Structure 1
Amino acid sequence: MKKILYSLYGVIIIGIIICILNSGIFNSENSNAIAAGEKVYQKQCLICHGENGKGEGKNAGTAINNQRYLNAVSNKDIYNSVKFGREGTAMPSYGPRLSEDELNNVVAFIKNWQTQEIEFDVPKKITGDSLNGEKLYNISCINCHGEAGSGKPKMGTALSNPQYLKYTTDKQIWIGTAYGREDTRMGPSLKGLDGVRQLKKQEISDIVSYIRSIKVKQKSHNDYLEP
């Protein structure tokens, strides 16, 4: 008898869950967040990132509406980028300007641009030779991302920026380098893809290692200059 009751309870619980999912409650909440986030985006972000998020704004702004980028980042990653910004660049910190609801809403709006699910072939462990990575960087990346990752407006992200390095994982840097971002200047670099650069997986890992080493070099240089 108990087994029958437990089975009955299980069926009832499953039925309740299905009803809740089909009720559209969660979809409604997400739709409201997206709509609210669009208003925040238009007021705060459009001037740089553009109406369509393609980096077509009046001021310098990264293209954030492309599937390779959106598949490589989580909601939390976008949240950190918006909240903490990038010091020394045109991307300010919105933490002091926006409430938590506004931050989460604009994240929902941006993430809603994702329409595809992309599987990236990434090494399980990303380690490399930073010296070789520097050589490869100076051949393949410096024209857009600048010397030592300093960045160039309307051309390439500042890779040595402390917030970029803090809130971007090695995997994300590897994906960005290997697969690029469609409809932008950043073409793919992984061998076998359609980019001009045809780098092996290990060479891309070397570049990632170099990018990670930039802040160490800069810190050492600053320490040397201090009295």
Structure 2
Amino acid sequence: MARMLSTTSLAVALIALACVPDPAAESGNDDVADSDSESDTGTPEERGAALYDKYCAFCHGDVGQGYTADNANALSNQEFLRIASDDFLATSIRYGRPGTSMSAWGEDKAGPLSDQDIDDIVTFIRTWQELPSAGPEVDAYEIDETASILRGETYYGVYGCEDCHGIQGVGGTFMTLENPWFLTTVSDGYLRESIVRGRPGTPMPSYQSGADTDLSDLQVDDIIKLIRSWEREPNTDPLPPFEPDVSDAVINPDGPDPDFVPVDGRFIGADLVKSALDMGAKMILLDARPHADYVDGHLEGAVSIPFFDLPKVIDELPQDVWIINYCGCPHAVSGQSFDALAEAGFTNIAVLDEGYYYWVEQGYPIVEGE
């Protein structure tokens, strides 16, 4: 399948965020909001717009156009909004896509967003929808019982799916199809619509029978069955509320200062950081992602300070120690952390240029858990 610039191939279009209708809106009372919501003023759309701007726009774009950072999908794509159910969309926000740059934002995973916040964000996202929703018949679709994983592997390769999504749905340029939270929440009908209809306005073509690049109904079902074969249980264990602790943030406190010269006054390569650590250099590795990402995996010795929590502890951080900010985007979140430190007067700061996933690919030390 052709590579997308916006909501690409079968899954770039597949896994975007969205939202569940706001209970206050359904009751006709726009001013109702849960007490634990980050904002309790304005209509659901207004609250959702503010939250979207703070937590989503830096990757998905200010109007959902996508690809502002790290190939984040286009949330305002009409074909996506037409077929994505509210449950699917809300779950995408709440639990994210562990192992990717799509973070878990819900309180269940120590994130900053309450259920009301999530409802409000998706109420806002739904304001972009112009086409009628596809309806329950999409999610009720069942693939042909004769569908074959073996044939699906052939079509997945021949029609270019692996070029965008990687062999066995992981490691491609665009979204990971084998992600457990994605496969747990997405329906076969959603997958089918995404393949058959594509994403108009993006390089993701239609594979509808009779089109220039066509697949028969059974061939589409073969690919869906292959994708389903990658399904596994997601981690549903909740995380307790998180507050950053920087009391032991400095790595190698008695070591020498690293000889860093950030590119453009901002970026340091991962290889240089690794070399400095190997030489025992003193520094702080600041993981700016939401805490669930840190628990899923982080640079050895890093401290978890989500970008939205940085103001709580910024006065406790030393200004005479190099602070390397990193995220998975690879710059969207760590860039915000860098800017906040710079505004507070810090000068020995940089952004890990290639981000967390490059570090992992190089086999550099990471740690899972708290």
User: Normalized against structure 2, the TM-score is what?
Assistant: 0.47
Q: Which residue of 2 aligns with 1:106?
A: 121
- Residues 137 and 207, structure 1, Cα contact 8 Å, conserved in 2: yes
Partner residue, 1:207: 223
Query: Residues 32 and 136 from structure 1, CA distance in 2 versus in 1: closer, same or farther, beyond 3 angstroms?
Result: same
Alignment-derived partner of residue 115 in structure 1: 130
SS of 2:195's equivalent in the other structure is helix
Does the aligned pair in 1 maintain the 2:66–2:75 contact within 8 Å? yes
Alpha-carbon distance, 1:183 to partner? 2.0
SS in structure 2 at match of 1:112: helix
CA contact (8 A) 1:79 1:103 kept: yes
Q: 2:117 aligned with 1:97, yes or no?
A: no
Q: Tell me by how many angstroms 1:199 deviates.
A: 0.6
1:94-173 alignment to 2 at 5 Å? 94-95=105-106, 96-117=111-132, 124-127=141-144, 128-140=147-159, 141-153=161-173, 156-173=174-191
| Aligned pairs (5 A) from 1:176-191 | 176-191=194-209
Does the CA contact (< 8 Å) of 2:141 and 2:188 recur in 1? Answer: no
Query: Which residue of 37, 42, 46 maps to 2:48?
Result: 37
Question: Which whole-Å CA distance do the structure 2 matches of 1:118 and 1:74 have between them?
Answer: 8
Q: Describe the SS at the equivalent of 1:126.
A: coil
Is residue 75–residue 108 contact of structure 1 (8 Å, CA) maintained in 2? no
Given the alignment, which residue of 73, 82, 85 partners 1:74?
Answer: 85
Moved over 4 A (4+): 27-31, 118-124
Residues 116-169 of structure 1, C-alpha deviation per residue, up to 9 Å, x if partnerless? 12659969431311110111001111111111111534xx32100111111111
2: CA distance, partners of 1:183 / 1:151:
25
Could you say which residue in structure 1 is the equivalent of 2:28?
A: 26
> 2:350 maps to what in 1?
none
TM-fit CA distance, 1:28: 5.0
Q: Which has the higher strand share?
A: 2
Contact between 2:208 and 2:214, CA under 8 Å: does it hold in 1?
Answer: yes
Distance, in Å, in 1 between the alignment partners of 2:126 and 2:64 is 11
Measured in 2, the distance between the counterparts of 1:204 and 1:212 equals: 12
Q: Which amino acid aligns with 2:148?
A: D
1:144-201 Cα deviation digits (max 9, x unpaired): 1111111534xx32100111111111111111111111222322111234xx421111
State the 1:26 CA deviation.
3.1
- Please give the residue correspondences for 1:46-65 in structure 2 after superposition, counting only pairs within 5 Å: 46-65=57-76
Aligned partner letter, 1:61: A
Query: Residues 206-225 of structure 1: CA distance to partner in whole angstroms, max 9, x if unpaired?
Result: 10000001247xxxxxxxxx
Distance 1:25 1:88 in 2: 38
Identity of aligned residues (%): 30
Secondary structure at 1:152 match in 2: coil
Give yes or no for contact 2:184–2:231 (8 Å, CA) kept in 1: no
In structure 2, the CA distance between the partners of 1:212 and 1:26, relative to structure 1 (3 Å rule), is same
* Structure 1 spans left out of the alignment, 5+ residues: 1-23, 217-227
Residues in 2 aligned to 1:118 and 1:79: alpha-carbon distance in whole angstroms: 16
AA of the residue aligned to 2:48? G
Q: What RMSD, in angstroms, separates the aligned Cα atoms of the two structures? A: 2.5
Deviations 1:29-68 (A, max 9, x none): 6981111111111111111111121213134311121111
Match of 1:220 in 2: none
Contact 2:59 2:68 in 1 (8 A): yes
